[in-house]
Amino acid sequence: MQDDLEGTHSEDSGGEQLLKVGTPLREQDRFLPIANITKIMKKSVPTNGKIAKEARECIQECVSEFISFITSEASDRCHMEKRKTINGEDILCAMYALGFENYIEPLKLYLSKYKDNMITERHHSDESHDPMQTGESSRQGSGK
Amino acid sequence: MDNDRLTQLPMSRIRTVMKTSPDMGNINPEALFLMCRSAEMFIEHMAKGAHRQGKKSLEYKDLAQYVENDEKLEFLLQILPKKITVKEYKTMMEKKPGTDED
């Protein structure tokens, strides 16, 4: 295993960790779960098609690289405009700047579905007088 | 809930990966959602693109080939080296002039 640098090595097995400065990143912090990735890949190849283990692991690394690539670009744009929070537009602009403009239209469609859901949730919570509901989503996906 | 059905990758993990970028600020929920969806689209795009017509399996070399042929995937070149056989490597080294041999 890797040697600790300066930070403490956290032993908890939970999915979401606070990344302490100096703590070496674990595999599960750097990559998305391979099961989810495999499922998505399987939909993109003919049924009964095999996906080599090496290919799956490769995609796993590529996706993380893709996320970092887009995020850096979005983050730069954000800094340039003196903002601290990356928003949806930053992501879409980064896609465009990095050559993934063909993703933009489908993403916008999904975004409007997402927003509709958020509005529906807010209405439900208003009706039930839920004091917890804020503008931020309190559920970030249960990692299915 | 509906939003969970809209994504197939865990958003908490997406956020963790995004946070590994240097000088990252905060990420608003929309941005996180878009990143999640685009990661899924990316996986589909790679798998579909690399898969050879008529072949049943998808292999590492198909991915390496695909990345090499697509300009916008240049950022992946260093993590996806094309594999060569030992024989090819030897031939390559022989062609290089003045290489120091160990």
**Burial readout A62-73 (b: 16 or more C-beta within 10 A, e: otherwise):** bbbbbbbbbbbb
The structure tokens listed for B17 are 């990966």
Q: So where are chain A's domains?
A: 27-123
Please report which confidence band the pLDDT of residue A6 belongs to, taking 50, 70 and 90 as the band edges. Answer: very low
Nearest chain A alpha carbon to B37? A107
Residue A124 has pLDDT above 70, yes or no: yes
| Residue of A58, A69, A76 to mutate for B, most B C-beta atoms under 10 A | A58
> What are the DSSP calls for chain A, one per residue?
-PPP-SS-------SS----TTPPPPHHHHS--HHHHHHHHHHHS-TT-EE-HHHHHHHHHHHHHHHHHHHHHHHHHHHHTT-SEE-HHHHHHHHHHTT-GGGHHHHHHHHHHHHHHHHHHHHHHHHTT-TT--SS-S------
Which chain B residues are closer than 8 Å to A40 by Cβ? 8-9, 40, 43-44, 47
Interstrand relation of A50-51 and B57-58 (parallel, antiparallel or unpaired): parallel
Scanning the structure block, which residue is given the tokens 């859901």? A117
> What are the DSSP calls for B10-65, one per residue?
-HHHHHHHHHTSTT--EE-HHHHHHHHHHHHHHHHHHHHHHSPTT-SEE-HHHHHH
For residues A132 and B21, what is the distance between their CA atoms, to the nearest angstrom? 30
- The 10s digit of each residue's pLDDT in A31-52 is 999 999 999 999 989 888 899 9
Q: Nearest CB to A39: which of B8, B51, B62? A: B8
Q: pLDDT value at position A131?
A: 59
Interchain CB distance below 8 Å, B39 and A32? yes
Residue A100 has pLDDT above 60, yes or no: yes
Q: pLDDT value at position A19?
A: 58
Whole-prediction pTM: 0.76
Domain A27-123 has CATH 1.10.20.10: yes
Nearest chain B alpha carbon to A88? B31
Q: List all residues 6 or more positions away from A3 whose beta carbon is below 8 Å from its beta carbon.
A: A24
Q: Find the range with the poorest average confidence among A59-63, A77-81, A119-123.
A: A119-123
Q: Of residues B17 and A6, which shows the higher confidence score?
A: B17
Q: pLDDT value at position B29?
A: 93
Taking a contact as any Cβ pair under 8 Å apart, which residues of chain A between 41 and 70 contact chain B? 41, 43-46, 48-52, 54-55, 58-59, 61-70
CA B63 to the chain's CA centroid: 8
Average pLDDT along chain B, 102 residues, taken 10 residues at a time: 71 94 91 96 95 88 93 90 79 75 54
For residues A97 and A47, what is the distance between their CA atoms, to the nearest angstrom? 35
Q: First and final CA of chain B: distance in angstroms?
A: 61
